[in-house]
Amino acid sequence: METLIANLKYAPVLIAALFVGHMFFKEVRKYHRQGAPWYKPYLTVPGIIVICALLAPLILWIVGK
């Protein structure tokens, strides 16, 4: 029972990650169809969230030292 409750705590985070990932992928497809530069999707709100999520462990590691 304890493991079930512990695993249920991960559900909102995974749902949010899927939602942001889907939004980001839609931006990537949109800009790819337009022939925009490769970095253009990363300058959108979902792209900035993805970058922050990828850099968060590194920042926490540096701050934790």
pTM of the full predicted structure?
A: 0.79
Vertex 64: Cα angle to 61 and 65 (nearest 5): 95
Check pLDDT > 90 for residue 3.
Answer: no
Interatomic CA distance for residues 13 and 3, integer angstroms? 17
What pLDDT digit, counting tens, does each position of 6-35 carry? 889 999 999 999 999 999 999 999 999 999
State what percent of residues in the chain have pLDDT above 70. Answer: 100
21 — alpha (psi -120 to 50), left (phi > 0) or beta? alpha
Check pLDDT > 90 for residue 1.
Answer: no
CA 41 to centroid of chain Cα atoms: 13
User: Are 19 and 2 contacting, i.e. CB atoms less than 8 angstroms apart?
Assistant: no
